[in-house]
Amino acid sequence: MSTYSSNRGFWRGLTLGVAFFGLTLFLNLLTLRPGVRGESIAVSKAEPAAGKPLPKLYFGSKACASAGCHEKGQVTDPPLLCRGDELDRFKAHDRHADAYNAMTGKLGRDILKRLNLGEPQTATDCLACHSVNIEKGATKHESFQLEEGVGCVVCHGAHERWVGSHSLVISRSAFRILPRETKESDYGMTDLWDPAKRTALCASCHVGNQEQGKFVTHDMYAAGHPPLQGFEVASWSNQMPRHWQLLREKPKVVQKIQGHNSSVWEESQLMLVGSAITLRESMRLLASHAKTASINGEMLDWALFDCYACHHPLGPRSWRQNQTHPGKPGRVPLKTWPMVLPGMGEKLLGSKEEVDQLTRELENATYSRPFGDPKKIQLASEKIAHWADAIAKSFASQPLDQKTGPKLGSELLKIWQAPPRDFDSARQTGWALLTYHSDEAALGRNINKEWLKFLEGYESGLDLKLKTGRGVRPARGEVANPKQDDSPPDQFHPDGFMGKLKFYLQEGK
Ligand code: HEC
Ligand code: HEC
Ligand code: HEC
Ligand code: HEC
């Protein structure tokens, strides 16, 4: 596949385009631009992709700053959809820029050595999440570097067509006003505004995705990989931290282009749809492992189970002994946090039967024998994945607004009626409440500050603020301050949490 010659042409075009910036007003009237390979591409009339997948091309982050585009807000020709300083924000704060460095640091090297995986740059099992494994048939642009970790195009789409059309002076204003669906289908720019698509992307690394070769095995954990945390897309997007603005924060003219509806509770909507997609992805991961295990007559990888069921301190009395489940005491449960929010959302939609029944089916499959019956687990998890996909569509088609939004709040507050099953489950509700309050605050509604302080603070034990920010952070167990060293999941106690929660709820009244 040809790459460099055509791309040189492309970059020359880009530089020239910027040099003749004054011409843009005139040129923008035209919808034709010189194509990357010399042909002409009509930008306003999207070129039919004719079912053919667009060729993949991996750019490096540098390319996004060439000609001053996503650096220091230098580009100003309207209509500008973004602030033009995304690379600065990314480089300053975003851990994705350190994802490869994690593999070359002390802990990363130790893990690789213990697993005999060789050098970081060839450890494909890790690179799938900590950078990218370039597919067969795809090409690398000269700006691409593995060391950049999870770079811009890993999330935004590794395709030349959108990169070219959206950056060339001659074509970009026409490109900007295209619907985001067209930008994706015809140009290969991933539609990350779609909550379902965004969440599926994040979850592929933060939960796992078998087809994409992304999975943290129990071997990797045992070799030192930190436990993947439960994932919630709205609060995790904020904590990356966001290098973009929410639609409600954007200038009016951009809101119009992007189809912003100001009555919609933007972040809560993302949270709800995202929770169903996260469940779907975790069930697909489980189903594909269960299928392999059942064919090979093996047991499921322990990484799919609740880590803390096996890894917890032993004492004469434990809150775990008081839990009810359909199996015998001592059988290992699966991770349950992905069920929490979609289950609540289903009640919000007015039905409450299906998720409970499906959960029971999966539990029966899991507890019917030690480490579960893979065949039955496969069938049950496929059903839940199917259900989650359908409920994500329902959430997406019924925008949360002034009428339905407050109902979400009261559903979320029902958390205090029954203790959460574990730390990760409690955290899901915690993040959802923060997200909900963020929408409420933006709409000028009255919010309970005591509550927020409790949830976010040290006392709730939920550790809702991730330790984000660039640079090497100490691994768990290597922190000097023993108080912070307490691993929150190990310390979490449902009854203790519930006691404090009820206290703050009362205080807030
Ligand atoms: C399924 C995706 C996935 C795979 C596969 C994966 N990781 Fe990770 N890794 C992550 C995520 C996500 C985090 C951040 C954990 C969090 O905060 O939830 C992480 C964290 C880490 C950290 C800690 C980083 C820090 O700064 O705290 C190291 C080191 C690491 N991974 C190394 C590796 C190595 C080595 C491999 C291969 C043996 C590997 N990872 C495989 C997703 C993955
Ligand atoms: C981990 C995934 C991820 C990575 C990596 C990433 N982005 Fe984004 N980016 C997003 C999401 C999610 C959005 C919000 C939805 C959207 O605009 O499509 C976004 C939005 C944007 C926007 C639109 C800003 C706005 O205000 O609407 C720009 C421009 C952008 N990113 C540029 C970059 C650049 C440049 C890089 C690399 C330095 C980068 N992104 C890396 C996920 C990512
Ligand atoms: C290609 C894999 C990949 C994708 C896609 C991805 N991430 Fe990550 N993410 C990682 C890895 C790996 C880390 C850990 C990096 C490190 O600590 O060095 C990480 C870290 C993070 C962190 C910091 C976590 C912490 O404990 O501090 C947040 C927040 C985050 N990601 C959010 C997101 C969101 C939101 C999306 C989707 C828009 C997303 N990620 C998409 C791989 C990915
Ligand atoms: C079925 C029980 C079981 C489950 C579930 C389980 N583990 Fe383990 N794990 C073990 C056993 C047994 C060992 C080996 C203990 C040893 O070497 O002392 C181990 C070893 C480890 C080790 C290395 C030894 C140590 O304690 O530091 C880590 C880290 C670890 N597991 C993390 C995890 C994580 C993270 C999860 C969830 C994603 C998980 N485990 C799920 C049973 C389990």
pTM above 0.85, yes or no: yes
The answer to the question of residue 224 being in a domain is no
The answer on pLDDT for 57 being more than 50 is: yes
Q: Is residue 287 part of a domain?
A: yes
List ligand 3's pocket residues with C-beta within 6 A. 95-96, 98-99, 102, 129-130, 150, 154-155, 198, 201-202, 204-206, 233, 236-237, 239-240, 466-468
Pairing of strands 57-58, 40-42: unpaired
Q: Are residues 150 and 290 in the same domain?
A: no
Pocket of ligand 4 (CB under 6 A): 218, 221-222, 227, 302-303, 305, 307, 309-311, 332
Number of H helices, E strands in the chain: 26, 4
Same domain, 142 and 285: no
Give the residue numbers spanning the domain of 379. 266-470+482-508
Q: How far is the CA of 244 from the centre of ligand 2 (A)?
A: 6
d(CA 297, CA 371): 13
Kindly report the backbone phi and psi dihedral angles of residue 33, in degrees, each rounded to the nearest multiple of 5, phi listed first. Answer: -130, 155
Residues 62 and 184 placed together within one structural domain of the fold: yes
From 111, 310, 320, 334, give the residue whose CB has the most ligand 4 atoms within 8 Å, as the site to mutate.
310
The answer, yes or no, to whether any atom of ligand 1 lies below 6 A from the CB of 198, is: no
| Pair (185, 313) in one structural domain | no
| Residue 170 to residue 20: CA distance in whole angstroms | 10
Number of domains in the chain: 2
Structure tokens given for 307: 């880590």
State the Cα–Cα distance between residues 148 and 154, nearest whole angstrom.
Answer: 11
What average pLDDT does the structure give for the chain?
84
Same domain? For 181 and 274 the reply is no
Domain boundary among 191, 224, 248: 191
The ligand that comes nearest to the alpha carbon of residue 199 is 3
pLDDT of residue 133 exceeding 90 = yes
Which residues have C-beta within 8 Å of that of residue 465, sequence separation ≥ 6? Answer: 239, 456
**pLDDT for residue 139 is more than 80:** yes
pLDDT score of 336 = 92
Is the alpha carbon torsion for 97, 197, 409, 417 positive or negative?
A: negative
- Considering the domain architecture, whether residues 164 and 278 belong to the same structural domain is answered as no
Residue 477 lies in a domain: no
Asked if pLDDT for residue 477 goes beyond 70, the answer is no
Assess whether the C-beta atom of 208 lies below 6 angstroms from ligand 1: yes
Residues 274 and 146 in one domain: no
Residue that has been written with the tokens 């290597």 in this structure? 478
Q: Confirm or reject: Cβ of 107 under 6 Å from ligand 1.
A: yes
pLDDT at 251 over 70: yes
Is 10 within a domain? yes
171/278 same-domain check:
no
Q: What is the pLDDT of residue 471?
A: 65
- Domain edge (last residue) among 191, 207, 233: 191
Q: In terms of domains, do 359 and 461 share one?
A: yes
> HSE of 465 in the Cβ direction (CA atoms, 13 Å)?
10
Residue 311 neighbours by CB distance under 10 Å = 12
Eight-state DSSP code of residue 305: B
154 & 290 share domain? no
Residue nearest to atom 35 of ligand 3 (CA): 237
pLDDT at 3: 38
Q: Which residues contact 45 (CB under 8 A, 6 or more apart)?
A: 31
For 284-315, the pLDDT digits (tens) are: 999 999 999 999 999 999 999 999 889 888 88
| Contact 226 CB / ligand 1 (< 6 Å) | yes
Is the distance from the beta carbon of residue 229 to the nearest atom of ligand 1 less than 6 Å? yes
Given 191, 224, 245, which residue is the final one in a domain? 191
176 and 325 fall within a common domain: no
C-alpha to C-alpha distance for 121 and 126, rounded to whole angstroms: 9
Residue 110 resides in a domain: yes
Q: 252 lies in a domain?
A: no
Q: How far from each other are the two terminal CA atoms of the chain, in whole angstroms?
A: 66
198 occurs within a structural domain: no
Taking the CA of residue 69 as reference, the ligand 2 atom at the shortest distance is 35
CA-derived radius of gyration, the chain: 24
Question: Counting ligands in written order, which one lies closest to the CA of residue 285?
Answer: 1
Looking at the predicted structure, is the pLDDT value of residue 484 above 70?
no
- CA 130 / ligand 1 centre spacing (Å): 7
- Flag whether 406 is in a domain: yes
The answer to whether residues 275 and 341 touch, using CB atoms and an 8 Å cutoff, is yes
